[in-house]
Amino acid sequence: MLTKKQLDLLEFIHRRVQRDGVPPSFDEMKEALDLRSKSGIHRLITALEERGFIRRLAHRARAIEIVKLPDALQAKTVFRPVVVDGKAPPPTRHKVASRPAASPAGARDITIHAIELPVMGRIAAGVPIEAISEVSHTVAVPGQMIGKGHHYALEVQGDSMIEAGINNGDVVVIREQDTADDGDIVVALVGGQEATLKRFRRRGRTIALEAANPAYETRLFRDDQVKVQGRLVGLIRTY
């Protein structure tokens, strides 16, 4: 049995995850519940976790996962569009999939928010291949994987990022952006014609695109030869 404040907080977190793909911050929770301090939010979060409604994931910001919902809460789906390279891809479709929630008293169905992203073709995890910009199909992605911003997906071809856990045939989820920090795995457009998936390093006015496979050499380019088109935020693998 949840208190009103616990139920209100769980509903607020659920709605924000559906809308944004990420849970709200503690400051946003405090404001939404009209509490004077974040310590009250910590107590509510702890109570929800102890009752098995949420799970906190270690070493990640805003890492709150909804495990189950009480019968009093009705799942609501929020629709939001996805735009890639300024073009309108096929309409983004949102799905609600059911799965049983683990519970010692027996399983009950809850809803998991999913978003369909456009798959823009294949990306080389090896020697760069010709840049891809055509939508080939769509793929359903868990809403928790998608944060703010525009996203798209690419099929991986090659094994140069295998030691980063990216295999040939995987589908990578990319947040569209034109900047990157050292160590980010990015989609890089080289010379305006070839695209590749590599780890990004800046060395003065030189850009290093590093493979995660000793069989491939690091490639160096002038900074004006490389354009970042997005950063890796997720991966989907089919067995």
At residue 199, the 3 state secondary structure works out as strand
Residues in the chain: 239
Catalytic residue among 37, 95, 136, 198: 198
Distance (Å, whole) CA 221 – CA 203: 10
Catalytic residue among 4, 98, 148, 160: 160
Query: Are the CB atoms for 231 and 177 separated by under 8 Å?
Result: yes
Q: Please work out, in degrees rounded to the nearest 5, the angle formed at the alpha carbon of residue 143 by the alpha carbons of 90 and 233.
A: 90
3-state secondary structure of 52: coil
Cα 157 to the center of its chain, rounded Å: 21
Angstrom distances, CA of residue 46 to CA of 41, 55, 119, 177, 212: 8, 9, 39, 35, 39
User: How far is the CA of 185 from the CAs of 46, 73, 228, 234, in angstroms?
Assistant: 34, 38, 10, 11
Is 160 a catalytic site residue?
A: yes
Catalytic: 198?
A: yes
Do 66 and 53 contact (CB within 8 A), yes or no? Answer: yes
Tokens 């399983």, residue located: 107
How many Å apart are CA 187 and CA 173, to the nearest integer? 10
Q: Just list the catalytic residues.
A: 160, 198
